[in-house]
Amino acid sequence: MNQGRVIRLLIIGLPLGLAAMLAASVFLTHGRKIFGWGDAAYLTENDRVETAPAVGRVLQKGVEEAMLRRTLDILTVKIGERNLANFDNLQAAAYFIESSMGQNNMGYQMTRQEYTVEGKPVWNLEGRLPGGKAGREVVVVGAHYDSAKGSPGADDNASGVAALMAVAQALSGVSLNREVRFVVFVNGAIPGFQTDSMGSLVYARSCKARGDHLVAMLSLDTLGCYLDAPGSQRYPEGIDATGLPTVGNFLAVVGDEAAPELVERIREAFQRHSSFPLVAAALPGGVPGVADSDHWSFWQNGYPGVLITDTAGYRYPEFGTAQDTPQRIDFARLTEVTKGLVEVVKALATE
């Protein structure tokens, strides 16, 4: 882009008022409570996660902070660093997500898209919420579940996975016009990022090959860091930051110039239901950071996609490090953001 070009961003805020959800106690089928892990080091494919008998299948439709905390704790503390170099952990994360979202819990029929990376079997996971009269049109909500090497990946990207799972639970069984697919991707962190083995690229290519009609893809990536200190927010080169917030307390919605209307629809939907600060922009794809998530894979295949983020390293110094732990996450604000995202997905799927 030309130097000096001013890129206009929309700064929004809105109230949230969704009912709180009763978080279920979760157990492994053989009786070990997942919080403690008992004598098991990892979840295995045969360890199906179920709700406690006294609670039964979760039917509540709100977003609760306790669920987000539990998901972050399991992915980053009980499991930890999850990538090809820590393959058992990567598989454990997949089993946990698959069971938590599956028919015995949230009620989704989970599908694996399996492929091989470096001789190891890996998979994306998909749960579909069927659409009604516009059912052939699809909204994809995605997040990568692996972490960078050397990092437990709380913000990057257990926060995105936790938000996706909470949105999926809130919408389970809800009737919408468009189909919604909740997809968690493997191998999205460096070194898999923007390679042929990147999970979201494998998935997007398969959608294109089938002729799937994807009308929107939302990439939930790094959603848990919100700061109130002056000067805590930075911006990439190529953006004229004049007049933009210098405090990192907002959510960012970033799309490319090919689909500014999608950015605007998300902004409007969020604005109707939340007072949380929002910065929304359609930017040139070449601006640093704009393509740095799984939405990039959908751009490569002709689908509209946006990044929904706390801006990662532009405010979060622990990004991609061993210090990216749950203690760094602002769970209260992550909860508010997730409530707003429920309304965004509902709006996109009812158009």
Overall average pLDDT of the 83-111 stretch = 97
The answer to whether residue 189 scores a pLDDT higher than 70 is: yes
The pLDDT of 13-32, averaged and rounded, is 30
pLDDT reported for residue 59: 42
E strands, 158-304, are 179-185, 213-220, 251-256, 278-283
**Spatial CA neighbour of 212 closest among 132, 298, 296:** 298
Torsion of CA 68, 69, 70, 73, to 10 degrees: 120
> Tell me: the pLDDT tens digits for 114-128?
999 999 999 999 999
For helices 159-171 and 331-349, the axis angle rounded to 10 degrees is 50
What is the C-alpha to C-alpha distance for residues 161 and 111, in angstroms, rounded to an integer?
17
Could you count the other beta carbons within 10 Å of the beta carbon of residue 5? 10
pLDDT band at 285, cuts 50/70/90?
confident
- Among residues 282, 58, 293, which one has the least CA distance to residue 194? 293
pTM of structure: 0.85
Q: What is the pLDDT averaged over residues 51-65?
A: 53
H or E segment and range at residue 126: strand 120-129
pLDDT value, residue 42: 38
C-alpha pair distances (Å), 126 with each of 70, 102, 114, 186, 240: 21, 10, 11, 12, 38
Q: Given this model, what pLDDT does residue 237 score?
A: 87
pLDDT in tens, 146-158: 999 999 999 999 9
Q: Assess whether pLDDT exceeds 90 at residue 332.
A: yes
Return d(Cα 221, Cα 65) in angstroms, integer.
18
Instruction: Classify 10-21+109-349 by CATH class.
Output: alpha beta
CA distance 328 to 336: 17
Per-residue pLDDT at 238: 81
Per-residue pLDDT band for 71 (boundaries 50, 70, 90) equals very high
pLDDT at residue 104 greater than cutoff 90: yes
Partners of residue 123 on adjacent β-strands? 114
* Domain residue spans of the chain: 10-21+109-349
State the pLDDT confidence band at 134, using cuts at 50, 70 and 90.
Answer: low
**Percent helix / strand / coil, the chain, rounded to 5:** 30, 20, 50
Measured CA to CA, the distance from residue 156 to residue 189 in angstroms comes to: 9
Looking at 241-291, list the stretches that DSSP marks H as alpha helix, in order from N- to C-terminal side. Answer: 260-273
Structure confidence by residue, pLDDT tens digits, 238-265: 888 899 999 999 999 999 999 999 999 9
